[in-house]
């Protein structure tokens, strides 16, 4: 048996899932090329560049979760999404606290360490 016979509905589903992956790939590609291109060829101020890189990275993470890991807003997958959001909450507390404490320490005691 070389290829499973797909019913019409299955063939449609397959096409839509394939489109999903293609869209994900195309968007991720664009969102990668923009920051690399600007960082390599354009002469932007560092602050603007950081903002662009950060924004592209955030959107690309969402695209990857949506298109490759199939995390959507539909009801039955809420658990997975909630786990991500909870992890992000924990992370933001720990990362934010680390950065706050250490950079405050640097500012007061070790100004050389400030980048």
Partner 1 sequence: MSALTARQTAATDAPARHPGINLGHAHREGEESREEMVFGFWVFMMSDMILFGLLFATYVTMLGGTAGGPGPKELFDMRGAFFETMLLLVSSFTFGMASLALKYRDDRRALVGWLLITLLLGLGFVAHELYDFHKMFEAGGVPSRSGFLSAFFSLVPLHGLHVSVACVWLIALLGQLAVHGLDAQTKNGLIRLAILWHFLDIVWIGIFSLVYLGGLA
28 binds partner 1 (CB under 8 A): yes
Write out the binding residues for partner 1, residues 29-58 only, by CB under 8 A. Answer: 29, 32, 35-36, 39-40, 46, 49-50, 53-54, 56-57
66 binds partner 1 (CB under 8 A): no
Classify residue 49 as exposed, middle or buried by CB count within 10 Å of its CB (0-12, 13-18, 19+): middle
Distance CA 103, CA 105 (A): 5
Residue identified by tokens 């997975």 is: 80
107 binds partner 1 (CB under 8 A): no
Closest separation in Å from C-beta 92 to partner 1: 9
């Amino acid at each position: 048996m070389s290829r499973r016979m797909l019913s019409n509905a299955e063939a449609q589903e397959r096409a839509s899932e394939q489109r999903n992956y293609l869209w994900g790939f195309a968007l991720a590609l664009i969102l990668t090329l923009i920051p690399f291109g600007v960082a390599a060829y354009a002469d932007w101020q560092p602050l603007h560049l950081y903002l662009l890189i950060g924004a592209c990275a955030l959107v690309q993470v969402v695209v990857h979760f949506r298109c490759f890991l199939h995390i959507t807003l539909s009801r039955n997958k809420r658990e997975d999404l909630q786990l991500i959001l909870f992890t992000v909450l924990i992370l933001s507390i720990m990362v934010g606290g680390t950065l706050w404490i250490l950079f405050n320490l640097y500012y007061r005691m070790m100004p050389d360490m400030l980048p």
